[in-house]
């Protein structure tokens, strides 16, 4: 979560480093292409278990800048 802050309600860009980064970045890319707010994560239902579920925990901890 280092380097994240909340200025807008949409995701402007993302960088994910890791062996399963493709799984994670495609979720963000879909939100970015749709200009959807990041809060849409809260309403989404994801299959279990996946790395994308970890975004719920991550976004719960992002504080407004």
Mean pLDDT across 2-26: 78
Does 12 score more than 70 pLDDT?
yes
The model's pLDDT over 20-54, given as tens digits with 9 standing for 90+, comes to 888 888 888 888 899 888 888 777 777 777 777 77
User: What's the confidence (pLDDT) of residue 27?
Assistant: 82
pTM here? 0.62
Instruction: Tally DSSP H helices, then E strands, for the chain.
Output: 3, 0
SS3 assignment, position 57 = helix
**C-alpha span between 63 and 6 (Å, rounded):** 6
Q: Where exactly are the structural domains of the chain?
A: 1-65
User: What's the confidence (pLDDT) of residue 33?
Assistant: 92
Mean pLDDT across 11-17: 83
């Amino acid at each position: 979560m280092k380097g994240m802050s909340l200025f807008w309600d949409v995701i402007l860009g993302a960088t994910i480093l890791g062996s399963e980064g493709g799984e994670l970045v495609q979720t963000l890319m879909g939100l970015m292409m749709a200009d959807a707010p990041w809060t849409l994560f809260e309403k989404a239902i994801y299959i279990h278990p996946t790395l994308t579920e970890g975004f719920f925990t991550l976004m719960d901890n992002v504080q407004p800048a």
